[in-house]
Amino acid sequence: MQTQILERMESNVRTYSRSFPVVFTKARNARLTDEEGREYIDFLAGAGSLNYGHNNPKIKQAMLDYLAEDNIIHGLDFWTAAKRDYLNALEEVLLKPRGLDYKVQFPGPTGTNAVEAAIRLARNIKGRHNIVTFTNGFHGVTMGALATTGNRKFREATGGVPTVGGTFLPYDGYLGEHTDTLDYFEKLLTDKSGGLDVPAGVIVETVQGEGGINVSGLEWLKRLEAICHAHDILLIVDDIQAGCGRTGKFFSFEHAGVVPDIVTNSKSLSGLGLPFSQVLMRPELDVWTPGQYNGTFRGFALAFTTAAAALRYFWSDDTFERDVQRKGRVVEDRFQKIAAWISEQGIEASERGRGLMRGIDVGSGDIADRITEKAFANGLVIETSGQDGEVVKCLCPLTIPDEDLLEGLDILETSVKQALS
Ligand code: PLP
């Protein structure tokens, strides 16, 4: 395999090509093929940006048709037929059936761009700087978003510039299962000497993806919403990784029945892996003045086209979400068995997750790395997450055929046994 130029020219900052040092050439749904014709089952799915699999034919056809007709492609915030069509799909397929009423901002195309816009909007609305965020939260690595991201590796890579404007509080379960961490938040808000600057907003992932598949309880989320309402604080749900169906509902907060003030989406939003993000806000929160937040790429027309196709194809009824929930139970069941086997070997392990966002916590990044390395050698692309990379994380395409899902789980089980023998 010719990798010399890739190794020589691409910055040291590269990551995934270190775990998977082959040249990938083709992909279809949950299968990747490298240059030498070797196939891999994909349990990473572009870090959750390919919930509908690689090259989904229906979504790709929408893009090809659009391209064939000399339509507008650029990403300035012009009105285009593609944008109109996407907004129609968003309203008709997603928002109205869920009783949700949001206006939409298209910031830059990445997740961190959406988070930057969301927290700045919250600050402008409330005239307060502070944003409460949670331990192990990951919201991106640009400076504003980084202030709400817990991981020290990223926080220390700013050349000494401090990240400001975020206050970390314990996520659900952080202090053990018997402590409701929101008691602390509520106490800080009511105690005038608690030292917490009253926040403009709280940003939360309902399931922490990069932080190690930490799942917040549905009651905890409801209580968080109630605390925000009681103290005039905006609730921002960062659904960049947990959204677009990953947890078994389009919006991960649907499980808890909460209605965030602001929502961020990106990753799988375009349906085809194209860079695309959005911020949803309750209509009365749209305090932006024209051009107050700008950028060249604010709504990529190709992504509007593919995102609209994905919404119409997968979300017009509940067939897809029920199938995701079914597959989630298959993964949960097998992960529990694998975790139990690991524990029998004297290494404490457990499984957790919601829908098809699941992980096995093996307690150590070294062990998790050994497992994922074996898995790759055996034909499975899977990654780790958590503060030390101690959680082997399944983010397979939601569209994965059952045969591939079972084969991927078999490979993982074999790899665990090889890694620990
Ligand atoms: N928010 C969450 C919950 C994420 O998982 C991520 C990326 O993994 C981001 C924000 C940042 O997205 P991006 O990497 O596209 O900037």
Q: Angle 97-100-102 (CA atoms, 0-180°, nearest 5)?
A: 130
CA of 141 to the centre of ligand 1 (A): 8
365-377 helix and 402-420 helix, angle to the nearest 10 degrees: 120
* DSSP state at residue 90: I
Which of the listed residues 142, 266, 277 should we mutate to test ligand 1's pocket, taking the one with most ligand atoms within 8 A of CB?
Answer: 266
Give the model's pLDDT for residue 28.
98
Is the alpha carbon torsion for 112, 393, 137, 190 positive or negative?
positive
Query: What's the mean pLDDT when you consider all of the chain?
Result: 97
Q: How many residues does the structure list for the chain? A: 421
Partners of 111 in beta bridges: none
In this predicted structure, the answer to whether residue 1 has a pLDDT above a threshold of 90 is no
C-alpha distances in angstroms, 33 versus 22, 25, 26, 71? 10, 6, 5, 32
CA of 239 to the centre of ligand 1 (A): 9
**DSSP of 153-174:** HHHTTTTTPPP-SEEEEPPTTT
In this predicted structure, the answer to whether residue 71 has a pLDDT above a threshold of 90 is yes
pTM: 0.98
Stretch 82-110: mean pLDDT? 98
Q: For residue 323, what pLDDT band results from cuts at 50, 70 and 90?
A: very high
Q: Closest residue (by CA) to atom 12 of ligand 1?
A: 111
Query: Considering all CA atoms of the chain, what is the largest pairwise distance in Å, rounded to the nearest integer?
Result: 65
C-alpha distances in angstroms, 143 versus 163, 212, 369? 6, 22, 29
**DSSP of 94-109:** IIGGGT---EEE--SS
Which of the listed residues 13, 205, 241 should we mutate to test ligand 1's pocket, taking the one with most ligand atoms within 8 A of CB?
Answer: 241
Tell me the C-alpha distance between 144 and 404, whole Å: 40
Question: Would you tell me how many other CB atoms lie within 10 Å of the CB of residue 272?
Answer: 25
Query: Percentage of the chain with pLDDT > 90?
Result: 100
Stretch 350-378: mean pLDDT? 98
Give the model's pLDDT for residue 216.
98
Atom from ligand 1 closest to the CA of residue 210: 5
pLDDT tens for 390-407 read 999 999 999 999 999 999
Contacts of 49 (CB under 8 A, 6+ apart): 267, 268, 273
pLDDT tens for 249-264 read 999 999 999 999 999 9
Tell me the C-alpha distance between 213 and 382, whole Å: 14
